[in-house]
Amino acid sequence: MNQPTYASLKKSSLPGPDDITRTQLPNGITILVRPNFNSMSVSVTGYLHAGSLYEPDEKLGLADFTSSCLMRGTKQGSFQEIYEKLESIGATVGFNSGSHTAGFGAKSLVDDFDTLLEILSQALREPTFPAQPVEIVRSQLLTGLAMRAQNTSEMASLLFDGLVYQGHPYSKPGDGYPETIMAIRREDLQDFHARHYGPRGMVIAVVGAVSPNRAIDRVSAVLGDWSTPHQPEVVTVPPAPTLGKITREHAPLPEKSQTDLVLGVAGPTRSSPDYVPAKVGNSVLGQFGMMGRIGESVRNKAGLAYYAYSSVSSSIGPGPWFVNAGVDPQNVEKAITLIKAEVERFVGERVSVDELKDSKSSYIGKLPLALQSNAGVAGALLTLERHNLGLDYYQRYEEMIQEVTPQTALDAAQKYLDLERFVIATAGPE
Amino acid sequence: MLKPVNKITLDNGLQIMLKEIHTAPIISHWLWYRVGSRDEIPGKTGISHWVEHLQFKGTPQFPAKETEKAVARTGGMWNALTYLDWTTYYETMPADKIDLALQLEADRMVNGDYKPDEVESERTVVLSERQGRENSPSFLLGEAVRAAAFRVHAYHHEVIGDTADLKTMGRDDLYNHYRTFYRPNNAILTMAGDFETETILERIQQLYAAHPAGEEPPRPQRAEPPPRGEHSLTVEGPGETTLVEVVYHAPPAAHPDFFPLLVLDSLLSGPSGLNLFGGGGISNHTSRLYTAMVEEKNVAVDIMGGLPATIDPFLYSLHLIVHPQKTVEKALAVMDGEIHRLQDAPPTQQEIDRAVKQSRALFAYGGESITNQAFWLGFSEMFASYEWVTKYIDRLAAVTPEDVQRIAQTYLRPQNRVVGTYLPRNGKTRS
Which band of pLDDT confidence, cut at 50, 70 and 90, is reported for residue B430? very low
pLDDT at A376: 93
Torsion sign over Cα B108, B113, B116, B121: negative
Does B94 contact A7 at a Cβ distance shorter than 8 Å? Answer: yes
Number of H helices, E strands in chain A: 15, 13
Instruction: Judge: domain A19-223, CATH 3.30.830.10.
Output: yes
Q: Are the C-beta atoms of residues A83 and A147 closer than 8 Å to each other?
A: no
Q: Would the pLDDT of A22 be above 70?
A: yes
Q: How far apart are the C-alpha atoms of A138 and A62, rounded to whole Å? A: 11
Mean pLDDT over the full length of chain A:
95
Check residues A12 and A38 and name the one with the higher pLDDT.
A38
Where is B286: in which H helix or E strand?
A: none
Using the beta-carbon criterion (under 8 Å), do A328 and B324 form an inter-chain contact? no
Kindly identify which residue of chain A lies nearest to residue B350, measuring between CA atoms.
A88
**What residue type is A109 in one-letter code?**
L
At residue A44, the pLDDT reads 98
ipTM value greater than 0.85: yes
Q: What is the pLDDT of residues A350-367, one digit of tens each?
A: 999 999 999 999 999 999
- Single out the residue of B360, B322, B163, B42 nearest to residue A111, CA to CA: B360
Chain B residues with CB-CB distance to A107 below 8 A: 280, 365
What are A160-193's pLDDT values in tens digits? Answer: 999 999 999 999 999 999 999 999 999 999 999 9
Domain A247-428: homologous superfamily in CATH: Metalloenzyme, LuxS/M16 peptidase-like (3.30.830.10)
Q: Edge to edge, what strands does the sheet with B187-193 contain?
A: B6-9, B15-20, B187-193, B26-33, B87-94, B77-82
Residue B1: per-residue pLDDT? 47
pLDDT category of residue A1 using cuts at 50, 70 and 90? low
The 8-class DSSP code of residue A127 comes to B
Half-sphere exposure of A263 (CA within 13 A, CB side): 28
Where would I find the H helices in B45-136? 47-54, 64-73, 98-108, 116-134
Pairing of strands B417-424, B231-237: parallel
Dihedral class, residue A255 (left if φ above 0, else alpha if ψ from -120 to 50, else beta): left
Give the phi and the psi of residue A59 in degrees, each rounded to 5. -130, 45
pLDDT, mean over chain B: 94
User: How far apart are the CA of B269 and the nearest CA of chain A, in angstroms?
Assistant: 13
pLDDT for B431: 39
Percent above pLDDT 90 for chain B? 91
Residue B9 has pLDDT above 70, yes or no: yes
A254 and B CB contact within 8 Å? yes
Nearest to A358 among B72, B281, B365 (CB): B72
pLDDT tens, position by position, A226-260: 999 999 999 999 999 999 899 999 999 999 999 99
pLDDT for res A372:
87
Q: Residue A311 gets which letter from DSSP?
A: E
What share of residues in chain A are helix, strand, coil (percent, to 5)?
50, 20, 35
Question: pLDDT at residue A99 above 60?
Answer: yes
pLDDT for residue A7 is more than 90: no
* Cα A55 to the center of its chain, rounded Å: 19
**pTM value?**
0.93
pLDDT digits (tens, 9 = 90+) for B149-205: 999 999 999 999 999 999 999 999 999 999 999 999 999 999 999 999 999 999 999
What percent of chain A shows pLDDT beyond 90? Answer: 93
Cα–Cα distance, A308 to A290 (Å, whole number): 9
**Closest CB from A139, A254, A289 relative to B301:** A139
- Answer whether A83 sits within 8 Å of B370, measured CB to CB: no
Give residue B220's pLDDT: 83
Residue among B24, B61, B281 minimizing CB distance to A368: B24
Per-domain residue ranges of chain A = 19-223, 247-428
Residue A92, SS3 per DSSP: strand
pLDDT in tens, A382-423: 999 999 999 999 999 999 999 999 999 999 999 999 999 999
Residue among A83, A255, A307 whose CB faces B237 most closely: A255
Give the pLDDT of residue A112. Answer: 97
Judged by DSSP in three states, A404 sits in coil
A376 near B CB under 8 A: yes
Please give the Cα distance from B359 to B259 (Å, whole number): 12
**Please, what is the Cα angle at A370 between A374 and A100, to 5 degrees?**
80
Same CATH topology for A19-223 and A247-428: the answer is yes
Q: Say if residue B359's pLDDT is above 50.
A: yes
Enumerate the residues of chain A whose CB falls inside 8 A of the CB of residue B325: 139
Pairing mode of beta strands A30-35, A21-24: antiparallel
Dist. CA A68–CA B418, nearest whole Å: 34
- All domains in chain B, ordered by first residue: 6-208 (3.30.830.10), 231-424 (3.30.830.10)
Measured in residues, chain A has a length of 430
Task: Single out the residue of B287, B291, B276 nearest to residue B366, CA to CA.
Answer: B276
Task: Tell me how many degrees the CA angle B264-B354-B352 measures, rounded to the nearest 5.
Answer: 40
pLDDT for B264-312, tens place per residue? 999 999 998 788 777 778 899 999 999 999 999 999 999 999 999 999 9
pLDDT, tens only, B82-128: 999 999 999 999 999 999 999 999 999 999 999 999 999 999 999 99
Confidence at A3, pLDDT banded by 50, 70, 90: low
Q: Are B342 and B267 contacting, i.e. CB atoms less than 8 angstroms apart?
A: yes
Q: Rounded to 5 degrees, what angle do the CA atoms A314, A66, A187 make?
A: 145
